[in-house]
Amino acid sequence: MPTLSGLPGGEDGPASLCGDFTATPGSEPRARITRGHPARGWTDATATPGLLSFPATAPDRKIDYIFYRPAGAFRVVSAETLDARGSSDHRPVLAVLELVGRA
């Protein structure tokens, strides 16, 4: 798995990682993103049950995520999927994060 050291904030700075990971919550690819040292592992801002985003017409699975790190740097204010069926084959995922400090 490639490293993510080229992200803004460097290896240990606050950062977010968002997109279509084509991996369900219990899958190994999804688990690889979140396990590890708390400062380098990613926390799922969209961990709220029921945030299904694919397919857009009638979502039945979660494969789109918004992750952040380090765990103590952000507070998740809200997370939701938007009903915007015509924009993609996925529904958009929105999370509002508040920067609160460093872990």
- What pTM was computed for the model? 0.82
What pLDDT does 80 receive? 95
Q: Which segments in the chain show pLDDT lower than 50?
A: 1-2
What pLDDT does 39 receive? 56
CA 24/CA 54 separation, integer angstroms: 11
Contacts of 34 (CB under 8 A, 6+ apart): 41, 42, 43, 44, 67
Contact between 73 and 100 under an 8 Å Cβ cutoff? The reply is yes
What pLDDT does 97 receive? 95
Q: Work out the angle at residue 72's Cα, subtended by the Cα atoms of residues 77 and 20, and round it to the nearest 5 degrees.
A: 60
Contact between 93 and 46 under an 8 Å Cβ cutoff? The reply is yes
Contact between 19 and 44 under an 8 Å Cβ cutoff? The reply is no
What pLDDT does 14 receive? 87
Instruction: Write out pLDDT tens, residues 50-78.
Output: 899 999 999 999 999 999 988 888 999 99
CA 9/CA 7 separation, integer angstroms: 6
What pLDDT does 59 receive? 94
Contact between 64 and 54 under an 8 Å Cβ cutoff? The reply is yes
